[in-house]
Amino acid sequence: MKFVDEATIRVEAGAGGKGCISFRREKYVPFGGPDGGDGGDGGTIWAVADPNLNTLADFRFNRAFRAERGGDGEGSNCRGGNGADLDVPMPLGTLVYDQGTDELIGELTYIGQRIKLAQGGFHGLGNVRFKSSVNRAPYKATKGSPGEARDLRLELSLMADVGLLGLPNAGKSTLLAAVSAARPKIADYPFTTLYPQPGVVAVGPLRSFVMMDIPGLIEGAATGAGLGIRFLKHIQRTRLLLHLVDILPPDGSDVVGNIQTINAELRQFSEELAGRDQWLVFNKIDQLSPDEARALAEKAVKKLKWKGRWFMISGVSRAGLDELLNEVMDWVQVHAPKAAPQRLGEPDAAAVEADVPAEAVVAARRAKARPKSKVAAKPAQPRKAAKATRSPPAKKSAAGKAAKPVTAGKAKKRAQRVKSASAARPAARRAKPAVKKKR
């Protein structure tokens, strides 16, 4: 399939459905009143990141996308159905621009990400919405609003960890084919690679990174020479640049001059990209003896006053590849990007590992994100403890005077008086009278 990294499309969201004018007509129900329902909302168009796509070639043929319109309202207060949303799959790394204003709408950077491209229209209102005490039979309804329509420009910037730079025939495609399952075109003439080629490099169990090969650069590429610098945007997402250099150029050119040419073109394209970490990789050392190859490499590094790291490899004999790949893998792991900030409403990874309900994590994050009041809350005053020597307040009698506390001696005398009085009562008085039965 042809590699396409730019495309232009048109998106048209669905319009809202019309409101209905209707009145209730039923036997034995006079003055039924209005019962016209609202229309449905129009469908919205979304861009969805699809990991199974790696090019924008599908948009060469299908350039127009239209979502479904909302259904019209009906009588008996029946609302129209909402139009179905339309999902447009796009590869990871796609940037969406408005064609008219050149505004960046969004960027697809992770699997399943959704970006709204066009909002569907709002539904129309039925006549039941307009009834009032002075207008009990409204003959009024509104139409749904039209959906958004816009022309969009799509640009694909492939995502990789490591990017390969160099002149044509520096051995970039050979290196990618030697360390990954990618099979780029390899030939003995310049500009064999016509479009970016990614490849996954597996160093060991659960250790891998993505390497990107781009077409070769020549002097004057910034002004349009060769294939220009159009494909340099595909390494803007890379974190490490491997600058491949032919240690013995077939045209007899200077190695140092070739390195300076590539860096100059890179600087004209982007100062930020030129300032990223860059390693020199001297390729095709199998054409010389180990001592001669090391002498040429050290001479070039000394003349350039190179302060970064440099390696010597051979893509054909695989000499030095293991050392290079292990060092790149360690660098990628050390400089791994930090985790993206957790969005409100998404489950927290730490909560999943700790088996904590996601609802509790979301509620705690919402409470933390709630803005605090400008008035500082007063600290709670501690309650004073009651003194141990202080007696409780005495109860008041019915007359309003405070009752004296009862001592142990007085309580004993009162009990003796009650006991003697109960013993002096006659037995006949204590006994219950017999109840005579009626015949």
Q: Which residues contact 80 (CB under 8 A, 6 or more apart)?
A: 17, 18, 37, 38, 39, 40, 70, 71, 72, 73, 74, 123
> Domains in the chain, start-ordered, CATH in brackets?
1-156 (2.70.210.12), 162-334 (3.40.50.300)
Nearest to 129 by CA among 115, 120, 139: 139
The encoded tokens of residue 365 equal: 């994050």
Q: What is the pLDDT along the chain (439 residues), one digit of tens a residue?
A: 456 678 899 999 999 999 999 998 888 888 888 999 999 999 999 999 988 887 888 888 889 999 999 999 999 999 999 999 999 999 888 899 999 898 999 989 888 899 999 999 999 999 999 999 899 889 999 999 999 999 999 988 777 888 888 888 888 888 888 888 888 878 777 777 777 788 888 888 878 888 888 777 766 655 555 555 666 777 777 888 898 888 888 777 888 888 888 888 888 877 887 888 889 999 988 888 889 989 998 998 898 888 888 999 988 888 889 999 999 999 988 887 654 444 433 444 444 444 445 455 456 655 554 444 444 445 555 555 444 445 455 555 444 444 556 576 777 777 777 777 666 555 545 555 555 555 5
Q: Within 13 Å and on the Cβ side, how many CA atoms surround 89?
A: 9
pLDDT given at position 1: 45
pLDDT given at position 130: 93
CB-based burial label for 328 (10 Å; 0-12, 13-18, 19+): buried
pLDDT given at position 269: 79
User: How many CB atoms are closer than 10 A to CB 403?
Assistant: 11
- What backbone torsions phi and psi does residue 47 show, to the nearest 5 degrees? -100, 130
Alpha-carbon distance of 293 to 303, in angstroms, equals 16
User: How many CB atoms are closer than 10 A to CB 372?
Assistant: 7
Tens digit of pLDDT for each residue in 80-93? 999 999 999 998 88
Alpha-carbon distance of 435 to 148, in angstroms, equals 101
User: How many CB atoms are closer than 10 A to CB 409?
Assistant: 8
The encoded tokens of residue 18 equal: 């019309």
Tens digit of pLDDT for each residue in 295-334? 998 998 898 888 888 999 988 888 889 999 999 999 988 8
Alpha carbon of residue 159 to chain centroid:
16
pLDDT given at position 87: 94
Q: Which residue has the tokens 């032919």?
A: 246
CB-based burial label for 175 (10 Å; 0-12, 13-18, 19+): buried
Q: Which secondary structure element, helix H or strand E, spans residue 292, and what is its range? A: helix 290-304
- With residues binned 3-state (H G I as helix, E B as strand, rest as coil), the percentages for the chain, rounded to 5, are 25, 20, 55
Alpha-carbon distance of 85 to 46, in angstroms, equals 8
Q: Which secondary structure element, helix H or strand E, spans residue 364, and what is its range? A: helix 358-369
pLDDT given at position 350: 44
Alpha-carbon distance of 101 to 190, in angstroms, equals 39
Q: Which residues contact 209 (CB under 8 A, 6 or more apart)?
A: 161, 162, 200, 201, 203, 328, 329, 332
Length of the chain: 439
pLDDT given at position 249: 84
Alpha-carbon distance of 36 to 20, in angstroms, equals 5
**345: which DSSP letter?**
T
Q: Which secondary structure element, helix H or strand E, spans residue 267, and what is its range? A: helix 255-269
